[in-house]
């Protein structure tokens, strides 16, 4: 069962909807955002040149830097009176990106989150404990209104206060939890310390977002808490969480709500579209946004698109679970590495806990990588053997080994209770 009938729309029909909405969006951006008018003029493109979806490649791309340069409201397309809400994305450096919504935008957002939850196996009548941070961050309120739209009950607990989370979860019999993957693990540990069996907690679904989650990490969480771990994807620049979501039937890629967000995948270096099914950078165009229409936004997220039929019956394209951001790419002694690749290899080894950190230093002109990995609590084997196993696996799979590998006991890697987990510490700058 789907939330909105359009989720199973015939793809030809869907394409017609997308084309009409793309034309309207380009027109709207051109008429109301000087930034886009200039960009299009520079590219020699007029809105009337965009007739079909294939014409989208004529449009210039929008980047994070554009949001920064146009701070705070240079990309807004409506008058202040029409703006119902503002949010800001967590900028790790400099100014945040400010994003805005009209009433209609908020309705769309609630709907796509409701679709996402439903796809993830959450049903009307369920109780969802929302452990995303409330406030300027889009995670908290985005999920909140989606739960209400679905007809489920939301517990707006927000992030942190983990003991209270566990108690309320038990007392109120929460069916689902929304949080980051790292927080799910933290909650499991806390519950254990409090004397609960994490597998006995009432939740059966966790909606993961805001952080990448590799497959071994997901399996670990699913096992420890006896839940379905479902990936939700989104970004503030486009709308917030709810751009795409995994269906619980297949759990094999995230359905993009294509009637609102048009996806392309391009080569991160050249910006040219890649062949269907090839990995590249996800580029998204909003098709219905009023306050902040965004044309061809370079997300920095690496994924592939899969147009095969899905067993759940939804016809909307699936994107691969994002485990790498173009921004996260580490270049260590000339080798390109994503932290998620290291995580993937390491977490498949028995005896390793899903907690690690990567430290990068310079010794003279040389890059030095130090990898710290926590041993599983129940591990009682030989450290040297475990170390050899990790190094061999890394060498075999990635043709790369860290300069130093430190194994630490349970709790040896700091946990994150609030916000996104940080795993890479680059001290080279």
| Binding track, positions 316-335, relative to Zn ion; x by CB under 5 A | --------------------
From the CB of 313, what's the least distance to Zn ion, in Å? 7
Q: Which is nearer to Zn ion, 119 or 345 (CB)?
A: 119
Q: Which is nearer to Zn ion, 309 or 350 (CB)?
A: 309
Q: Quote the crossing angle between the two packed helices 138-150 and 103-119, to the nearest 10°.
A: 70
From the CB of 318, what's the least distance to Zn ion, in Å? 7
From the CB of 162, what's the least distance to Zn ion, in Å? 32
Question: Binding residue for Zn ion (CB under 5 A) from 113, 310, 316, 332?
Answer: 310
Main-chain phi, psi angles of 65, to 5 degrees: -60, -35
From the CB of 112, what's the least distance to Zn ion, in Å? 15
22 contributes a contact to Zn ion by CB under 5 A: no
Q: Of the listed pieces 2-10, 81-89, 208-216, 303-311, which binds Zn ion according to CB under 5 A? A: 303-311
CB 91 within 8 A of CB 64: no
Q: Of the listed pieces 152-160, 246-254, 260-268, 396-404, which binds Zn ion according to CB under 5 A? A: 246-254
For the record, the structure tokens of 426 come out as 């680059």
DSSP reduced 3-state for 222: helix
CB 66 within 8 A of CB 75: yes
CB 408 within 8 A of CB 390: no
From the CB of 14, what's the least distance to Zn ion, in Å? 15
Q: Which is nearer to Zn ion, 116 or 236 (CB)?
A: 116
Looking at 61-120, which runs of residues are DSSP E strands? 85-89, 97-101
Q: Quick one: which H or E segment has residue 163? A: helix 162-171
DSSP secondary structure string, 277-307?
Answer: T--EEEEEEESS-SSS--SSEEEEEEE-EE-
Question: Binding residue for Zn ion (CB under 5 A) from 136, 250, 329, 368?
Answer: 250
Q: Quote the crossing angle between the two packed helices 162-171 and 181-193, to the nearest 10°.
A: 80
From the CB of 319, what's the least distance to Zn ion, in Å? 12
Q: Which is nearer to Zn ion, 287 or 310 (CB)?
A: 310
From the CB of 309, what's the least distance to Zn ion, in Å? 9
From the CB of 8, what's the least distance to Zn ion, in Å? 10
| Binding track, positions 206-245, relative to Zn ion; x by CB under 5 A | ----------------------------------------
From the CB of 249, what's the least distance to Zn ion, in Å? 6
Question: Binding residue for Zn ion (CB under 5 A) from 312, 386, 407, 421?
Answer: 312
Q: Are strands 127-130 and 176-179 parallel, antiparallel or unpaired?
A: parallel
Question: Binding residue for Zn ion (CB under 5 A) from 247, 284, 294, 373?
Answer: 247
Q: Which is nearer to Zn ion, 148 or 222 (CB)?
A: 222
Number of residues that bind Zn ion (CB under 5 A): 5
Q: Which is nearer to Zn ion, 46 or 249 (CB)?
A: 249
Q: Of the listed pieces 194-202, 219-227, 269-277, 307-315, which binds Zn ion according to CB under 5 A? A: 307-315
For the record, the structure tokens of 316 come out as 């909307």
Q: Which is nearer to Zn ion, 306 or 389 (CB)?
A: 306
346-349's contacts with Cβ under 8 Å and 24+ in sequence apart are 346/373, 346/390, 346/393, 346/394, 347/214, 347/216, 347/217, 347/220, 348/216, 348/393, 349/386, 349/389, 349/390, 349/393
DSSP secondary structure string, 239-279?
Answer: TEEEEEEE-TTT-SSEEE-TTTEEEEEE-TTT-PBPPTT--
Q: How far is CA 374 from the centre of its chain?
A: 25
Asked, as a colleague might, if the bond just before 72 is cis with ω within 30 of 0, I would say yes
d(CA 237, CA 366) in angstroms, rounded, equals 37
From the CB of 248, what's the least distance to Zn ion, in Å? 9
Q: Which is nearer to Zn ion, 252 or 367 (CB)?
A: 252
| Binding track, positions 101-140, relative to Zn ion; x by CB under 5 A | ----------------------------------------
Site for Zn ion, rule CB under 5 A: 247, 250, 310, 312, 314
């Amino acid at each position: 069962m789907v939330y909105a009938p359009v989720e199973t729309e015939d793809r030809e029909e869907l394409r017609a909807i997308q084309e009409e909405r793309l034309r309207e969006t380009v027109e709207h951006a051109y008429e109301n955002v000087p930034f886009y008018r200039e960009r299009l003029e520079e590219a020699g493109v007029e809105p009337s040149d965009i007739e079909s979806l294939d014409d989208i490649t004529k449009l210039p791309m929008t980047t994070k830097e554009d949001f920064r340069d146009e701070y705070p409201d240079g990309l807004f397309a409506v008058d202040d009176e029409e703006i119902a809400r503002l949010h800001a994305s967590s900028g790790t450096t400099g100014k945040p990106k400010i994003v805005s919504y009209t009433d209609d935008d908020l309705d769309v957002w609630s709907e796509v989150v409701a679709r996402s939850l439903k796809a993830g196996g959450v049903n009307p009548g369920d109780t969802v404990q929302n452990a995303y941070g409330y406030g300027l961050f889009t995670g908290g309120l985005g999920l909140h209104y989606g739960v209400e739209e679905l007809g489920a009950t939301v517990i707006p607990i927000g992030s942190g206060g983990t003991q209270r989370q566990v108690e309320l979860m038990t007392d109120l019999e929460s069916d689902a939890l929304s949080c980051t993957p790292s927080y799910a693990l933290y909650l499991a540990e806390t519950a254990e310390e409090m004397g609960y069996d994490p597998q006995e907690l009432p939740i059966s679904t966790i909606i993961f977002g805001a952080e990448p989650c590799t497959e071994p990490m997901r399996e670990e969480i699913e096992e420890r808490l006896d839940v379905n771990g479902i990936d939700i994807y989104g970004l503030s620049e486009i709308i917030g969480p709810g751009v795409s979501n995994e269906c619980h039937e297949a759990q094999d890629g995230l359905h993009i709500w294509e009637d609102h967000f048009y996806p392309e995948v391009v080569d991160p270096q050249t910006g040219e579209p890649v062949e269907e099914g090839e990995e590249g950078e996800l580029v998204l165009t909003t098709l219905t946004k009023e306050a902040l229409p965004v044309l061809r936004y370079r997300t920095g997220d690496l994924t592939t698109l899969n147009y095969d039929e899905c067993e759940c019956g939804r016809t909307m394209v699936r994107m691969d679970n994002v485990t790498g951001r173009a921004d996260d790419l580490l270049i260590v002694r000339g080798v390109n590495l994503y932290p998620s690749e290291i995580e993937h290899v390491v977490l498949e080894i028995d005896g390793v806990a899903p907690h690690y950190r990567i430290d990068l230093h310079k010794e003279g002109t040389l890059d030095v990588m130090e990898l710290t990995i926590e041993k599983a609590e129940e591990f009682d084997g030989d450290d040297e053997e475990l170390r050899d196993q990790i190094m061999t696996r890394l060498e075999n799979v990635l043709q790369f080994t860290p300069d130093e590998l430190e194994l630490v006991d349970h709790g040896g890697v700091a946990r994150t209770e609030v916000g996104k987990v940080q795993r890479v510490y680059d001290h080279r700058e």
